[in-house]
């Protein structure tokens, strides 16, 4: 038996639109020659000319990010200060360094919602219908990945406004069945803010803001955002690995999400 790996993460770079401008990552690249002066800090008197081929010291990068840059895993703390309040006393929301590792390596399930229009809010009935279509019964800790129209829009100016979003009832449908990690190839688990803002303006109902995220107040869970390449996956029959970077007290952690097939 062999393993096949499918990368589900976007490339973190300066020149691809993956966030609003004020959240844009910034990467400064240093070549071997750029850092040559640092040699003397560790080895007094040594210069670039003393290195093999006179190439210099070490290639390096300086990176300015939020913990929500690139493909990342959101912890319950990102959504709300408390979690698991539906059936008892709310608990302090866990941060990314407290997310159980067993949540992050489990069988994957893909829901194909590419046909829904941008801004559509997915319901529990939609999730149930898609699970019936693909013939899958959810198991506790399944990692559920949502393929939206945003997946093919990465890098386009309107990427953050593309794709459907997962509503409160759709999210609760999953977490009631023991799902603790979900994911989307859109910028957000919820519908794009531009569509939600219009609904809030029309109705005055502010509970529509981040309704999928805020489901974590009732049942704590994590979700992956800005996944990529989901259209290449089958509906199930693979494992997902999505261990987040361990950042103390943080609301999210950068993740190299990967689908693993045993063949």
E strand or H helix at 254: strand 252-254
Bridge partners, 4 (sequence order):
261
| Ranges in the chain, pLDDT < 70 | none
Bridge partners, 63 (sequence order):
27
d(CA 156, CA 161): 10
Predicted pLDDT of residue 180: 98
Predicted pLDDT of residue 87: 85
3-state secondary structure 126-143: HHHHHHHHHCCCCCCCCE
d(CA 92, CA 88): 13
Predicted pLDDT of residue 52: 94
3-state secondary structure 10-64: CCCCCCCCCCCHHHCCEEEEECCCCCHHHHHHHCCCCCHHHCHHHCCCCCEEEEE
In total, the chain counts a number of residues equal to: 263
pTM above 0.85, yes or no: yes
The first and second tokens of residue 39, run together, are 């040699």
Tens-digit pLDDT profile for residues 48-65: 999 999 999 999 999 999
Domains and CATH numbers, the chain: 26-64 (no CATH), 72-262 (3.50.30.50)
In this structure, the strands spanning 82-83 and 91-92 are antiparallel
Q: Measuring CA to CA, which residue among 78, 123, 110 is closest to residue 240? A: 110
Predicted pLDDT of residue 224: 98
* Sequence-separated (6 or more) residues with CB below 8 Å from residue 226: 10, 18, 70, 71, 72, 154, 185, 186, 187
Q: Alpha carbon of 143 to those of 151, 227, 237, 254: distances in Å?
A: 18, 13, 12, 17
Torsion of CA 224, 9, 109, 210, to 10 degrees: 30
Please tell me whether residue 102 adopts helix, strand or coil conformation.
helix
Predicted pLDDT of residue 1: 81
The first and second tokens of residue 19, run together, are 């966030």
Q: Would you say 225 and 10 are in contact if contact means Cβ atoms under 8 Å apart?
A: no
Bridge partners, 253 (sequence order):
73
The first and second tokens of residue 107, run together, are 């069988």
């Amino acid at each position: 038996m062999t393993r096949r790996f499918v990368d589900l993460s976007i490339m973190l770079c300066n020149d691809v639109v993956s966030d609003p401008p004020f959240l844009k990552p910034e990467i400064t690249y240093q070549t071997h020659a750029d850092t040559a002066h640092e040699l003397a800090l560790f080895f007094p008197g040594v210069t670039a000319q003393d290195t093999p081929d006179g190439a210099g010291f070490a290639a390096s990068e300086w990176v300015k990010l939020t913990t929500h840059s690139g493909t990342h895993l959101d912890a319950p703390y990102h959504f709300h200060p408390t979690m698991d309040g539906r059936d008892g006393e709310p608990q302090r929301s866990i941060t990314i360094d407290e997310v159980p590792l067993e949540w992050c390596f489990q069988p994957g399930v893909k829901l194909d919602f590419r046909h829904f229009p941008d801004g559509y809010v997915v319901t529990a009935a939609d999730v149930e219908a898609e699970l019936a279509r693909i013939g899958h019964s959810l198991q506790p800790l399944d990692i559920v990945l949502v393929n939206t129209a945003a997946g093919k829009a990465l890098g386009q100016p309107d990427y953050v406004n593309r794709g459907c979003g997962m509503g409160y009832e759709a999210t609760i449908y999953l977490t009631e069945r023991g799902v603790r990690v979900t994911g989307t190839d859109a910028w957000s688990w919820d519908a794009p803010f531009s569509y939600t803002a219009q609904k809030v303006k029309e109705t005055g109902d502010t509970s529509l803001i981040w309704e999928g995220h805020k489901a974590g107040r009732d049942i704590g869970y994590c979700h992956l955002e800005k996944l990529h390449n989901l259209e290449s996956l089958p509906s199930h029959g693979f494992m997902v690995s999505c261990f987040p970077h361990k950042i103390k007290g943080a609301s999210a952690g950068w993740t190299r999400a990967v689908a693993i097939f045993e063949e």
